[in-house]
Structure 1
Amino acid sequence: MRKLALSIVLIWLGGLAAAFEIEDHARFGPEDAPVTLRILSTTDTAIFARRAARFLETAPGVAIDYTVASSAETMRAIEIERQPFDLVISSAMDLQTKLANDGFARRHVSGVTRDLPDWAKWNDLVFAFTQEPAAIVLSNAAFEGLPIPRSREDLIAALRRNPDRFRGRVGTYDVRNSGLGYLFATQEGRVSDTYWRLTEVMGGLDARLYCCSSQMIDDVARGELAVAYNVLGSYAFQRDDLSGISIILPSDLTTVMLRSVLIPRNAPEPEAAGAFVDHTLAQAFEPGGAFAIDRWLETGDSAALSRIRLGPGLLVYLDRLKMAAFRQEWTNAMLQR
C-alpha cells in the first residue's frame, strides 16, 4: 500500500514538473553533493556555466541543478505551479518585480546587499547583478556598400531606401510571447516615438519574429538575417566569432536591462541560495565586473544609456488592460497583412 501511495505521489510530482516548458537542463558540481541548489533561469546554459563554476569553487558540498525556461514559463513555474526552486534568475525585470510584489520572494539581507546601490535592489527581494544593453546586430555582408546605421533614424533610412535588400531579413522579438521583448518594447515605446516608426517599417518588410536573442544573433551570423533589433548586447559581444557582424548600441537611446535574481519564498535551500546571491553580487562589483557598463562601450562611443529602473513602476505595463492595448498597437504596426 505504501509503495502504491509513493508511486502515485511520484507520478503526480512528475506531471507537475513537466507542466511548464523547459528549454534546457544541466547539472554542475558533484553528483553526490549533500546540497543541491535548484536554479530556474532565462539565461542560456553556456553563459551561466562560467558563473556556476566560480560559485562552486567557493561552495564545497554544493551542486547546481540548472533549468532554463522562457520568462513566461518561469512565471508559470513559480506563480502558478509553486515549483520548489531555490533561485530565479531572469532578464525580465518587470516579471521579477511582480513575483516579489505578489509575495513569491523571500527577503535576503547581508553585508553584500547592504552595499548595493539603490538602483540594483528592490525591497531586499530582487537584486540586479548585471547591466546589459539592448543592441542592434547587423550582418556586415548585408550592409556592403551602405553606411552602418548608428541610430534608429539611420536604421529607418537604410530600411526604407533598400526594401528589396531587407525584406524578410529583419528580426526582432515577438512581444506577445517574449517577456524580455515586451519589457524592451514598453520601456522604449514610452520614451521614444522613433520606436513606433521603426516598428511600422520593420512590419512593412515582413519582419521575422523571435523568442530569444541567441536565435536572432545566430541567424545574423549565418546570413539569414540582415538585422536583429533589440537583442541582448551581452550575448552578441560574448560570441567567439564577431568577424561577420557589427554590434551597435544606438546613439539616440540604448536601453540597459538589469538581469536580476530572487529567492522564492518556498526555496528548499535558502541558505545556499543566499550564499549564491552574495557571491554573484560581490563579483558584479569587481573591476570589469557585471555592473561595469563601460565594458560594452568602444572608445568614444556616444550611446545614450537609459537604465531600466527596478521597482513598482515596472508593474504598469503588466496591467491586463494596458498589456492588451500595447500588444494590439504593436500587432497593428508589425503585422500589416
Structure 2
Amino acid sequence: MRLPFALLLCLALPARGDVVVFPAPEGGGRELVVYSSLDSPLARPLIEAFQRRVPDVAVRYEDLLTGEIAERVTAETDAGRATADLVFSSAMDVTVKLANDGYARPVQVPGAQDWPGWAGWRDMVFALTFEPAVIVYHKPSFPDGPPDTRAALIDWLATAPKGAVGTYDIARSAVGYLFLMRDQEHFADLWPLVQAMGRAGVQVFPTSREVIEGVNAGRLQLGYNVLGSYAADQTLRLPDLGLVLPRDYVVVVSRVALVPRAAEAPDLGEAFLEFLMSREGQTVLAERLRLPAVSLEVAGKDSAAAMQEALGARLRPVPVSPGLLAYLDAASRARVLAEWRKALESHE
C-alpha cells in the first residue's frame, strides 16, 4: 500500500533525495506516481504543464536509475503490491523487456494510431523523444571543421594527439552500449574504428556530460557518439563547443514510456502518457526540456520532423520492438565487452 496522500501533501521538495512530490494545485485526493530516469529538475515543466490539465492530481515523481526502475516494477508486481502508474525511461531495451515479460498493460491513447510505426509496440511501449548520436568537437582545434563521417574519423585518429578523443564507457553507460550495438549493425568497419580510438588513447566516460566538459575545456578535441539532446543544449551555452551530425548515418534513440500492469491508478498513468504524446506535451519536451519530439506535429530545427526533412535516410532510429532484447543477452554482452576491451587495451 502507498502512504496516505495526506502524509505526502507537502512542498515540492525531495522526500528522500530521489523523490519529489508536486502537490495538486487545487487540492484533491488523487496521486499519480511516476518512476523516471529523467532528472526531477528537468521534469518539473512537464509535470506542471500536466497539472494545469488536471489541477486536482498530485504527482509523486521518483527519479531512479534505469535499472532501478525495472527492478522496482518487477519486484513490486511480483509481490502483489502497487507500483508506478507510469514508467518513463531512457533504457529502451530494459523497458521493452518489462512489457515483453508481462509487466505492462495495453493502453488506448488518442493519436497513437498516428504515431510513427517504429515508435510503439503492441499499444504498450511508446517512444516519446528523438535523440541522435552526434560528434562534439573543440572548435579552436578544428578551424576547418571536424571529421564528419566514421571513415574520416578513422583517418583523423591516425594522427590525432594522444588522448584527444573521448566516448562513452560502454560497460557503464546503457546508452553508450546501445549506440555501439547500432553502429555494429550499420558500419562494417566498426571494430577498426574502435581499434583506431584505442591507438589514439581514447578516454572513456559514463556520461555525455563528462565528454562534453572535456571537449569544451580542450582536454579532449572530439567526442564520439554523444547524446545529441544534451550536446545541443550545451552548445548554446559553451562557445568553444561544436556539434555535427555524421554524414554517413545518424543513430537515433528515444526515451520510452509504459503504464505498468500493477499500477494503482492506471487511468492517471494513461492520462499522463496521453499528455506526453499530445502536441502540447511534445512541445514542452522539445522547447522546455530540449528533448527533440517524436511527433511530426511539433516544429523546430531539432524536431523529428525537421531532422527527417533535412537528413532523410541518414537517420536510423532504434525501433521500439522485441529486437532490443538481443542487446540484453548476457553471453552476447560479455562477448561485445571483451572485444571492446581487447580493441582498446591492445594499444596501451
Name the TM-score class by shorter chain: 0.7 to 0.9
2:22 to 19, 28, 44: 28
In structure 1, the residue matched to 2:127 is: 128
Contact (CA 8 Å) 1:70, 1:178: kept in 2 or not?
no
Moved more, 234-243 or 90-99: 234-243
In structure 2, the residue matched to 1:268 is: 264
In structure 2, the residue matched to 1:249 is: 245
Structure 2: which 5+ runs fail to align? 4-15, 283-294
2:343 to 325, 333, 336: 333
Contact (CA 8 Å) 2:132, 2:228: kept in 1 or not?
yes
- Note if 1:234 corresponds to 2:229: yes
TM-score norm. by structure 2 comes to: 0.80
Contact (CA 8 Å) 2:83, 2:262: kept in 1 or not?
yes
1:154 to 152, 155, 161: 152
In structure 2, the residue matched to 1:190 is: 185
Contact (CA 8 Å) 1:288, 1:295: kept in 2 or not?
yes
1:292 to 303, 306, 312: 303
Quote how far apart the aligned CAs of 1:99 are. 0.9
Amino acid at match of 1:214: R
Contact (CA 8 Å) 1:254, 1:303: kept in 2 or not?
no
Quote how far apart the aligned CAs of 1:29 are. 4.3
Q: For residues 244 and 56 of structure 2, what CA distance do their matches in structure 1 show?
A: 43
In structure 1, the residue matched to 2:51 is: 56
Structure 1: which 5+ runs fail to align? 1-8, 10-21
Aligned in 2, Cα 1:194/1:23: closer, same or farther, shift over 3 Å?
Answer: farther
Quote how far apart the aligned CAs of 1:129 are. 1.4
Quote how far apart the aligned CAs of 1:145 are. 4.4
Contact (CA 8 Å) 2:158, 2:200: kept in 1 or not?
no
Moved more, 70-79 or 188-197: 70-79
Quote how far apart the aligned CAs of 1:127 are. 0.7
Quote how far apart the aligned CAs of 1:193 are. 2.2
Report matched runs for 1:1-337 at 5 Å: 24-30=18-24, 34-80=29-75, 82=77, 84-141=83-140, 143-145=141-143, 147-164=145-162, 167=163, 169-239=164-234, 240-283=236-279, 284=282, 285=295, 286-288=297-299, 292-295=303-306, 304-336=314-346, 337=348
Q: For residues 93 and 324 of structure 2, what CA distance do their matches in structure 1 show?
A: 5
Q: For residues 307 and 328 of structure 2, what CA distance do their matches in structure 1 show?
A: 30
Quote how far apart the aligned CAs of 1:134 are. 0.8
Q: For residues 81 and 201 of structure 1, what CA distance do their matches in structure 2 show?
A: 46
Contact (CA 8 Å) 2:165, 2:203: kept in 1 or not?
yes
Contact (CA 8 Å) 1:131, 1:256: kept in 2 or not?
yes
Quote how far apart the aligned CAs of 1:214 are. 3.0
Aligned in 2, Cα 1:101/1:257: closer, same or farther, shift over 3 Å?
Answer: same
Moved more, 22-31 or 128-137: 22-31
Moved more, 250-259 or 236-245: 236-245
Query: Residue by residue, what CA displacement relative to the aligned partner does 1:39-89 show, whole Å, maximum 9, x if unpaired?
Result: 222223343333222212212122333233332333333334658222211
Quote how far apart the aligned CAs of 1:131 are. 1.3
Aligned in 2, Cα 1:215/1:270: closer, same or farther, shift over 3 Å?
Answer: farther
DSSP 3-state at the match of 2:335: helix
TM-score norm. by structure 1 comes to: 0.82
Quote how far apart the aligned CAs of 1:118 are. 2.2
Amino acid at match of 1:155: L
State, as a whole percentage, how many aligned pairs show the same letter.
Answer: 33
